[in-house]
Chains A and B, each alone.
Chain A
Amino acid sequence: MPEIGAPRHRGRGLDALLLAPAVLAVLVLFIIPFAYGLLLSLEPHGVLAKGGPLANYAAFFGNPRERASIWNTLRLALPVTLIDLAIALPLAYRLRRPIPGQRVITALLVIPMTLGTVLIAEGMIEFFSPAGWFNKIALALHLTATPLQLVHNYTGVFISLLISDFPAVFLVLLGFASGIDPNLERAARMLGAGWWARLTRVTLPLLAPGIAAAAALSFVATFSVFPSAVLVGQPAGETRVIALAAWQAAYERYDYSQASAIAIVMAAIELIFVAGVLVLRSQAYRGPTLGGRA
């Protein structure tokens, strides 16, 4: 709890001095570049310069291949988010009361998260290749007759995202689930609620903020997919994601203006999604964010 009557030997001046470096850093390294990028995007470069300030955006949405990058990315981000949520939710719910080995489990999940998307993608090239262990096992178990093509296509990126995204989604949900007062469930039981009633009337409404947070986090992370789309996907075709489009504009065509425009489009789409999730959440639940303590 911030102390309003905190030790008075520092005046407001010292506060500002302590805050200033951090705020300045964010200002200089984040806000200003963002604004710079926005402005840059409105100053089209080269052949587009005649098209007025929105020429970059017009060019992006007008070009079918560029436009398709949005769809390519959505095709990946939306299903991955939904599936990871669907898998993580029952697990987080069950683990809201610790079980033996809880810490081992969470540590296990944190490992792929910290090793990062590049390593997972690179490792997948080996493991999921037609001659790799996954296919070998599938063949041995007669799950398939011929080796499955799991890398260098949509499936590769899909699996890669599923794996790298899951831990964060799970941990966010777990954090929220374990923050729910256990007495609430007991109270619901005493009032006659069976497990389904408890789930739908107590647990899920109280988890709604967590689900919203996890969904937002997951979508934002998966929508900006980049290295795995290149390493285990088909960057020239079906997994030409929007981040790749932005990168190509900047580093292959040296059109920073166009690149910034694409980055802004990315940010806008993410913002729309997050806003949508927040609206949905406020329909489902009104009240404090961390359900529990009376």
Chain B
Amino acid sequence: MTPENVRPPGQPAPRIGQLRIRNLTKQYAETTALRAFDLDVHGGEFISLLGPSGCGKTTALNCVAGLVEPDGGSIELDGRDLAAVPPERRGFGMVFQSYALFPHLTAARNVAFGLEIMGGRRQEITRRVAEALALVHLEGMADRYPAQLSGGQQQRVALARALVTEPRLLLMDEPLSNLDAKLRLEMRLEIRRLHQALGLTTLYVTHDQEEALSLSDRIVLVRAGTVQQIGTPEDVYSQPGSAYVANFLGYRNLLTVIVEESGETRVRVAALGGHRFVGSPRERFANGQAAVAAIRPEDVEVAAPGEDRPAASGEGAALTARVELTEFVGDAFETSVEAGGGLRLLARTPRRWPRGSAVVVRLPPDRLLVFADEGHA
């Protein structure tokens, strides 16, 4: 969306130049949480660490925060190694998944906490607290205790508390996962709005691809303690680098296939039931190699027999299939089809297909991405 060096008008300049994470490793008793984790974060960027639970994204965040000491590697802020700097002196703001609001302090005192630590005149602190609460639309709640606030309100207090100290870097650990769906969407917009207004460099951890896609300037896909792919949301979404990434980003059709013939821009593969497809290879393949073909439900074309469009050049033949079930998901239907031999596909269709109807299915080669099979779980 926004390249690093172009800022929206009115957005303040970022307070850091660059955060360099190099070769970070962390080993716990039986698991390797981080393994050669590398990342560069540019000032003003909103970066999401996306991955399933246990992939190491939270550990990486905690290392940046200073709450966890890595076993190896380095973290440098504008050239300065942070290894010797304890978390209380790094000047980073952090929002926790459970909000971690001090239960014995009012919302205002919670927000004021960091400012009181830094010292300063009472009037100044009061003013800044009021500003921060207004920024997150919580003006009337200053004297409430966390227990008297709803989940969404607590979250906003947590945000205000982290922002009021004008941190150099904002760290967020799955802040929205404890909220219900509607609130989550609202807060997502809030966070985006705040980022536009403040231009704060942000490192955001989540397992929700929608959040990552909507909020980030760049997404970092994390797998088993290491970085799988980095890119802008559009790049990552349309050009996932591996079956793992594709799986995480909504390519819900993952077919185990054998490569029959592979070229520069096209590859022919054989799937379950003997069905053949033509797709776009994402790496070099040898004939006979096992691979994974991925396509998004919205890219799967379903038509009634006879209404099918003519095949494009280089495209394989259409598939005949039977509709297994249709699910209404509000703005479309999710239609599951079975194409003989056990091959199942999930399609996103504008209309409802009755169960059992015969249909014709096409997988456009541009959208059928073929990756090496490396256990994409």
Contacts and interface: CB of A to CB of B under 8 A. Distances in A.
A and B touch in the complex (CB under 8 A): yes
Contact of B147 (A191, A285, A287): A287
Contacts of B117: 191-193, 197
A187 B65 CA distance: 10
Contacts of A190: 65, 67, 87-88, 92-94, 162, 171
Nearest to A287: B104
Contact of A202 (B65, B99, B102, B171): B102
B335 interface: no
Interface residues of B, number: 33
B147 A183 contact: no
A101 interface: no
A154 B199 CA distance: 69
Contact of A181 (B100, B113, B114, B116): B100
Contacts of A293: 98
A191 B165 contact: yes
Nearest to B117: A192
Contact of B161 (A191, A193, A292): A191
A100 B320 CA distance: 64
Contact of B100 (A192, A201, A294): A294
A188 B96 CA distance: 12
B67 to A, nearest CB: 5
Contacts of A156: none
Contacts of B92: 190
B146 interface: yes
* Most A C-beta atoms less than 10 A away, residue of B92, B117, B145: B117
A286 interface: yes
Question: Interface residues of A toward B: which range?
Answer: 20 to 34
B145 to A, nearest CB: 6
Contact of B104 (A188, A192, A194, A291): A291
A193 B104 contact: no
B175 to A, nearest CB: 12
Nearest to A289: B103
Interface string B64-87: 011100000000000000000011
B89 interface: yes
A64 interface: no
B267 interface: no
B111 to A, nearest CB: 10
A188 B118 CA distance: 12
B67 A294 contact: no
* Most A C-beta atoms less than 10 A away, residue of B65, B103, B113: B103
B154 interface: yes
A291 B103 contact: yes
B103 A292 contact: yes
18 contacts: A184-B100, A187-B101, A187-B161, A189-B66, A189-B88, A191-B161, A191-B165, A192-B91, A192-B114, A192-B117, A192-B118, A194-B88, A202-B102, A287-B105, A288-B147, A291-B104, A294-B98, A294-B100
Given A187-B94, A190-B65, 15 more contacts: A181-B100, A183-B100, A187-B96, A190-B87, A190-B162, A191-B117, A192-B91, A192-B118, A202-B102, A286-B104, A288-B104, A291-B104, A294-B98, A294-B103, A294-B154
